Structure 1
């Protein structure tokens, strides 16, 4: 599968306006596009950050959908968004432990690496990280998005509640340190969000 992410920052007091638009008109627009596989929206209400992801069967489906979405994006995110960044990724790994819940938590790790090490990073994620998540309290899902050309990736861990997200920080810090060393990657960012909704059809 393939993913398009939209990362927006703006006035925290106006973030609910953008969420209402994304949850109604935004979802309707996406569902009308061929190859649509689901969408997720996450927020940091305190700082005023919004992260959304739409999932697609193919890179072509994703590209074709953006011809429509790019025209409507400013309308959907306004008047909240002051900055908007759009990125495209390949889904290198995706595993669901249980269905995520609204109000749960997401931790996103930004990564950079030599593009030649893309498959190494994906292998480390699948063989070293995923098996260690089974016993992690409240884990709902794990994913790895990669940009093979630019050598950039985002890994995400979903939790059913914010308490489980917080409780995992120390354990996952050690796992992250070990994983990036094996994958020859560098951590470029670490953020946490509240789950607004997460609905992806992996089959």
Structure 2
């Protein structure tokens, strides 16, 4: 699967306006596009951060959709958006255990790696990290997203509630440390969000 992320920061007092637009007009625009598999909207109300993620059946479908979404993105996110960054990645590992819930939690680890080690990173995550994540109480989904050419990755873990996410911090930190040691991965940032909407159709 292929993924587009839209990362936005702005005035926390105006974030709900952007969320409403994404969950109405934005969702309708996405659902009209061929190859659309689902999307998620995640927020940090305290700091004023919003992460929107859309999932696509092919790289071509993602690219075609961006032609349309680019025309509407700024209008959908006004007046909240102060900064906006769009990234395209591939989902190389995706595990779904249970249905996410509104009010749940998303943890995102942003990592860097040598592009030559992309296959090693993927295999280390699949064989070492994922089995440990699957034991975490309350885990709904886990995914590894990569940009092989640039050596960038995102590890996303979705929990059914914020309490489960908080309780998992120590165990997931240990898994990150092990993956970094085995695959030469550098963790560059770690963020947590509240789940506003998360729906991915894999069938």
TM range (shorter): over 0.9
Query: What is the rounded CA distance, in whole Å, between the counterparts of 2:90 and 2:135 in structure 1?
Result: 27
Corresponding residue number in structure 1 for 2:193: 193
**Post-superposition offset of 1:51:** 0.3
Asked if 1:70 is matched to 2:70, the reply is yes
What CA deviation, in whole Å up to 9, does each residue of 1:116-136 have, x standing for no partner?
111111111111111112321
TM-score (norm 2): 0.99
Q: How far did 1:18 drift?
A: 0.2
Residue 139 (structure 1) aligns with: 139
RMSD of aligned residue pairs (Cα, Å)? 0.7
Describe the superposition over 1:167-193 as per-residue Cα deviations: whole angstroms up to 9, x where unpaired: 011111111111111111100110000
- What does residue 22 of structure 1 align with? 22
TM-score scaled by length of structure 1: 0.99
Residues 55-99 of structure 1 show CA distances to partners (whole Å, capped at 9, x for unaligned) of 001101000000010010000011001000000001110000111
Distance 1:177 1:39 in 2: 29
Alpha-carbon distance in structure 1 between the residues aligned to 2:69 and 2:134: 37
Structure 2 residues not aligned, in runs of 5+? none
SS at match of 2:85: strand
Residue 89 (structure 2) pairs with residue 89 (structure 1): yes
For 1:1-203, what aligned pairs fall within 5 Å after superposition?
Answer: 1-203=1-203
CA distance in 2, matches of 1:54, 1:184: 28
Q: Distance in 1 between matches of 2:42 and 2:180?
A: 25
Across the two proteins, how many residue pairs are aligned to each other?
203
| Structure 1 runs, 4 residues or longer, greater than 6 Å off | none
For 1:25, what is the secondary structure of its paired residue?
A: helix
* Inter-partner Cα distance in structure 1 for 2:74 and 2:134: 40
Deviation string, structure 1 residues 112-162 (Cα, Å, up to 9, x no partner): 001111111111111111111232111111001000110001000000000
The SS at the match of 1:33 is coil
In the alignment, is the contact (CA less than 8 A) between 2:133 and 2:172 conserved in 1?
Answer: no
